[in-house]
Structure 1
Amino acid sequence: MSALEGPLTTITLCWRIERRDGVTIGLTAHDRDLEIGGLVYRAAPGMTPSAISRSAGLEADSMDVSGALTSSAIGEADLLAGRWDGARVVLFATDWTAPDAGVGLGEGVIGAVETRGGMLTAELRGAAARLERAVVEETSPDCRAMLGDRRCRVAMAPRRRFARVIEVAGAVLTLNAVEPVGNAYGGGLLRWFGGTNSGLEDAVAVSEGARVTLSVPPRFNGAGALIELIEGCDKTLATCAARFGNAVNFRGEPYLPGIDLLTRYPGA
């Protein structure tokens, strides 16, 4: 870059952060806002990355970003609530006098988020982190498919329902609608479409009548909010056959002997 050749450099760092729901923001370490590619990068002079390293091996590249997450565009409550989990982050350096020409420094998704010394810090995991995932499935007595995915093939359109939250008591929500069958939403998902939780998702532990119990209490007060409930499954063959009539697509091995077979007593 020609900006590096003079006695004084005009280089600054920029972040482009794309949330999973489509919200995109730009931040820059410069002391003034920059417009790059039609997106305004807001000045956030306090944001700093840790050392950026690249390797030719297959190890997962990562770095920490701090300061950027204290911007007014990314509030602490929203970050800790999970709104920015899995967001795509692109880090690049550019000449602030001609910002359209940048040099990429890193790209990945937001991983672990924690507080260090009163400051929010987020881990940025690179594309190589995907290589750490298991490439083959292990056998299991329970189904390994997700309800409604391409392997399960259960039609989910009639198993999604909207309701409104009447009361919140810890992790227990009272709704204005009753479930169609017993524990219909246990193991399912609740999506918030209104209130301060809007855009967030919560796992449902169990449901009974007009009440659903979440795995963890909602991040913010959800009374009066509109929600979408998606039915769940306990992953057992009995439920798959009796409730969904889908045993032919069951993705588990309920009758395969486990490692405890070698420790059983004769005749047990």
Structure 2
Amino acid sequence: MPVWGTLVGLGFRRWSAYRTAAFAGAFTNTVFGLIRAAVVLATVGVAGGTLAGYDARSVATYVWLGQALIGPVHLGAWTDLAQRIRTGDIAVDLARPVDPMLAYLAADLGRAAFLFLPRGLPPLAVGAFVTGLSLPATPLPYLLGLVSAVLAVGVSFGCRWLLSLSAFWLLDLRGPTTLYLVLTAVLTGLAVPVHWFPPWLATLADATPFPSMLQAPIDILSGRITGGAAVAGLGVQAAWLAGLLAAGSLIFRFGARRLVVQGG
């Protein structure tokens, strides 16, 4: 545990060195939030004022919570591990007395902890001023939402870890990375809420870990699901996290056995 805490702290310190980049990311998230809010508000207006349980205020809240979580959860590409596998630097990680996957996970949690403030709060503040937010008045949804957000970061890491492990077998990850970015943009609920999907696409999304990255924490933080349903949502996220980390550990060991690094 002391090692784990140290690695989380180092991840926080590493990303805190890029404060300007963090605030630039917050500006970008805010601009795209304004665009997304305009689109979904128009959609709800055309639908007659409500759509799949969302009215104008709740769908705007959905957008701004999503923009606040994009940075910490990290829905984009991640190439650190793949580059280390390609260059052979992964041999250094294998020589350390710490499980590489858990070490990277700890650093990623530190990254998320830092980005929550400079990239998460500004979009929410703008959203509250421009469209207004519909948030719970009791503390429990926020406590459960915090747990859900942490699990979402872990699920995102597990997916990015598995994607990066394909570097053991592939020379070029641009194809898998592009596919991954398309899937995260759609199936996480980033483009539109998963609840707006047609039944066949909603069923497909529910069979993947992607809704656990964004849709689940937003549903809990916004109070759309409460009580037992919220706890069940956390259970789904935890199950995906455990499964992804187990698969990631197994595949990493298999890939490391076939790795050939110059010099031995």
TM-score interval for Structure 1 and Structure 2 normalised by the shorter chain? under 0.3
TM-score after normalising by structure 2? 0.22
Bigger share in strand: 1
Between 1 and 2, higher relative CO (CA 8 Å, sep ≥ 6) is seen in 2
Bigger share in helix: 2
* The structure with more radius of gyration: 1
